[in-house]
Amino acid sequence: MRPLVITTPIYYVNDVPHIGHAYTTIAADVLARHHRNFGRTVFFLTGTDEHGLKVQKAAAERGIEPKKHCDETVERFMSLWKRLNISNDCFIRTTDPEHIRHVQAALDDLMKKNEIYEGEYEGSYCVPCEQYWTDKDLVEGNCPSCRRQVVKLTEKNYFFRMKNRLDQLVDKINAGELKIIPEERKNEVLGSLRSPHPDMCISRAKNRLAWGIPLPFDRDFVTYVWFDALLNYPSSLTYAPRLTGNRPPAWDESEVIHFIGKDILIPAHSIYWPTMLMAMGLSLPKIVAHGWWTVEGQKMSKSLGNVVDPNEVVQTHGVDAFRYFLLREVPFGLDGDFSIASMVGRINHDLADEFGNLVGRICALVRQKENGVLNLESYQSDSPDGIRFKVLAESRQATESFQFSVALTSLFGLFARLNKKINDERPWESAEDVRRKTLATCAVDLARGIFLLSAYTPALADEAVKRLGCGEWFKQGPKILEDDAVKSAGAWKVTTGEPLVKKVETKSEEKPVAKATADGAQPQGPAAEPGGIDITDFQKVDLRTARILAAERISGSDKLLRLSVVMGGAEEDKREIVAGIGKRYEPDQLIGKTVVVVANLKPRKVFGVESCGMILAAGDETTLHVLTVDGEIQAGIRVK
């Protein structure tokens, strides 16, 4: 069987990783682990996209070199992937010298083959933002970032001959040579290909954007970031041994699977990338595009302050609960909504009650009734509920066809059935031969389920294997799924102890929260909570640093000020907050201050202005002081 190359998008190094990034990476990791478990050679790539204007600007704001900025921010991704148990074989950064050489060699080669030509680019340019925008980006004809007027500019640039390949691309999609999954996304791509697409402009003038890979044939230009970034997929295969010591397979002899979010399917992965591959004479991949996560019904955005940091989720609920939840909750390909409450539901019901409890009760019964050693000779392979083999095969098939939630549903269906079998056959009071049959059959089938589950929740699966004492048997790999594998199972020495999966206390969430009083005023003081609140309650409040850019009085009110604050480097990080601090502060006194805001309050209209957050302050209306921070700190940093 051909080796498998599995990739994630390479993430913008400037971003703070959130559940969206974690989702793609976990899904790719599950597939990689699954195929490795079944003995297939897998090479799993992830990394960061480090060139471009945003990085250049962020570094300039910090007064440091872009590479130094990247070296610092890349850590967020590297450490998160370690924490989430991601088994990538390589981590590529587009600033790796080998990648830069690879991109330049590809450009040279395409230039020689006349796949690249010099032409004129005409576009709308925003002078203050130093950025070209397409007509569809413009907002009422203005720059979508600063809303100022754009100017039409025409300048020399280099283009990749993409247009001429589009008919061939349609044929290849229809013939299944380029696979786009799921089917609806494939249809969207075919729909988009019915409209004209111009050749791809692959250069950016260096005097405007210096932080990029110089074009080898014209040093006044750098490479367009997408052209640079997409090439990471084959380029990293060429130098992975230097990074990791692992020898990767060659592109053309592998089955390549790109996991991406639906946001970067058209045109980047479904039009640019396959036509680039065609021009380079490389084989076409499989593209798997998943849906989009919202958080409690809202789009995740820094300005709404609802970006979910995976580090915080796993700190409280554990890595495997997070991995399980993301892949179980939503059919892959569809959009999903993240909430801690639904995750807790899954932990308590699926992981604790269904799975952890099954492992726990088998081990406890073996300890009580069999002196802790499970004898497998009584395994009943012809048991009437032998549909387990069908379930295991279905689950395997679902994982391999990217239907992760289906795979988990069938596995947990098996665990539920085994729990029911124990309830029905009552091994704690049945005759010895019956009891042994029940316990051996349930334990073996549970272990087989764990084999398939281990790609999803590796640490939990390892712990369950330890408890069941079947580690040696597991070393046979997928053979244990075969009917007669029990013959070689030996005897298992079980371990009992703390529950395998601890349930999450939900009582505090069920307690009535303090209600507004009849006149609509909020009650004074904190909501009654005997013994204090839990840290998770505190973590629900997203406190962030924010810099006040502008302040003005709201006419008709003597205490309300309208503040424009910024909480990061992007346009979407700006927001307006209405604050009742006008009796104590003049607007001018506030400009430039770094304050602390509650960033995830639901927006509400105050005096006709939508207020997105609340500034923290101590004191009453006239003696009040806004909370500021000690020393210099960036805007948008979480206050803990």
Residue of 560, 511, 528, 548 whose CA lies nearest to 635: 548
Under the binding rule (CB under 6 A), the answer on residue 271 touching ligand MSP is: no
Do the strands 373-375 and 491-493 form a parallel or antiparallel pair, or are they unpaired? antiparallel
Rule CB under 6 A: choose which of 26, 209, 230, 453 binds ligand MSP: 230
Torsions phi, psi of 154, nearest 5? -125, 130
Token readout for 466 is: 């330890």
Under the binding rule (CB under 6 A), the answer on residue 445 touching ligand MSP is: no
Residue 410 · residue 417 · CB < 8 Å: no
CB of 74 to ligand MSP, least distance (A): 12
Binding residues for ligand MSP, total number by CB under 6 A: 20
Under the binding rule (CB under 6 A), the answer on residue 229 touching ligand MSP is: yes
Contact stretch for ligand MSP (CB under 6 A) within 3-11, 112-120, 149-157, 578-586: 3-11
Nearer to ligand MSP, 260 or 468 (CB): 260
Nearer to ligand MSP, 192 or 476 (CB): 192
- Give the span between the Cα atoms of 239 and 243, in whole angstroms: 7
Binding flags for ligand MSP, 4-23, as an x/- string (CB under 6 A): -----xxxx--x----xx-x
Residue type, 194: R
Binders in 365-404 for ligand MSP, by CB under 6 A: none
User: Cα 197 to chain center, whole Å?
Assistant: 30
Q: What is the helix (H) or strand (E) element at residue 7, kind and residue range? A: strand 4-12
Question: Which sign does the torsion angle of CA 328, 334, 337, 338 carry?
Answer: positive
CB of 226 to ligand MSP, least distance (A): 7
CB of 276 to ligand MSP, least distance (A): 11
- Give the span between the Cα atoms of 424 and 141, in whole angstroms: 70
Under the binding rule (CB under 6 A), the answer on residue 405 touching ligand MSP is: no
Rule CB under 6 A: choose which of 74, 202, 300, 464 binds ligand MSP: 300
- Give the span between the Cα atoms of 248 and 237, in whole angstroms: 6
CB of 110 to ligand MSP, least distance (A): 18
Nearer to ligand MSP, 21 or 562 (CB): 21
Rule CB under 6 A: choose which of 4, 5, 6, 24 binds ligand MSP: 24
DSSP string across 456-520? TSHHHHHHHHHHHT-HHHHTTGGGGGSGGGGGG--EEE----S-SSPPPP-HHHHSPPPPPPTTS
Rule CB under 6 A: choose which of 4, 42, 45, 49 binds ligand MSP: 49
Residue nearest to ligand MSP (CB): 20
- Give the span between the Cα atoms of 202 and 157, in whole angstroms: 8
Under the binding rule (CB under 6 A), the answer on residue 266 touching ligand MSP is: no
DSSP 63: T
Under the binding rule (CB under 6 A), the answer on residue 267 touching ligand MSP is: no
Nearer to ligand MSP, 232 or 348 (CB): 232
CB of 92 to ligand MSP, least distance (A): 10
Rule CB under 6 A: choose which of 90, 202, 264, 276 binds ligand MSP: 264
* Strands ordered across the beta sheet of 214-215: 203-205, 218-223, 214-215
Q: Which residues in this chain contact ligand MSP in the complex, by CB under 6 A? A: 9-12, 15, 20-21, 23-24, 49, 229-230, 232, 260-261, 263-264, 292-293, 300
